[in-house]
Amino acid sequence: MNLKFQVQVKIQKPLHEVYDAVYNPKKLSAYFTSGGSDGPLDEGRIVLWTFADMAGQSDTVPVRVEKTIPNKLIRFRWAASEGIYAPKEGKTPHPSGYDTTVDIAFEALGDNETLIKIIEGEWRPTEDGLQGSYQNCLGWTNMSCCLKAYLEYDVNLRKGFF
């Protein structure tokens, strides 16, 4: 079993604007990393993303940037979480001891339309790995919707979401 997924969304903005909204820490923090990002996603850097809106707790995650191709690709690795996130039941994902790889790919579909694809994998083929992949698929779907709302309508869709 290959625990890997892909989410994608079309955004009605030019390619360079969509890429910059993911690469640029100030923009990324305006719709996704609610507690901030300590730097741009430059190849070879370890960037800290902080999420301050997850069930009343703050979570800082190191993102190890492996590759950047401006206006085409951002690839990074980060710690895989396994298990389910169900705060009302007292369940949260746990560290797994290995990394997953995230590819964020950008493709111009016209002068004012960009396709963004987010691919992440691979989790261990266990029930906890499967649940962890579901959680991250949900997270990246949320991120891509928040990115679209931010760029097209100047709305922070994530505010008050969690």
Which range of residues forms the domain containing residue 135?
Answer: 3-153
| Matching residue, tokens 């300590």 | 38
CB 128 within 8 A of CB 83: yes
| Matching residue, tokens 């007292």 | 90
Give the Cα separation of 120 and 107 in Å (integer).
Answer: 18
Per the prediction, the chain carries an average pLDDT of 91
Q: How far is CA 107 from the centre of its chain?
A: 17
CATH code for the domain in which residue 64 is found: 3.30.530.20
pTM over 0.85: yes
Q: Kindly provide the b/e burial profile for residues 60-74, where b requires at least 16 CB atoms within 10 angstroms of the residue's own CB.
A: eeebebeebeebeeb
Instruction: State the total domains in the chain.
Output: 1
- Decide if 161 is inside a domain: no
- Decide if 131 is inside a domain: yes
- Decide if 162 is inside a domain: no
- Decide if 21 is inside a domain: yes
Q: List, for residues 73-114, the tens digit of each pLDDT value.
A: 999 999 998 887 665 666 666 677 899 999 999 999 999 999
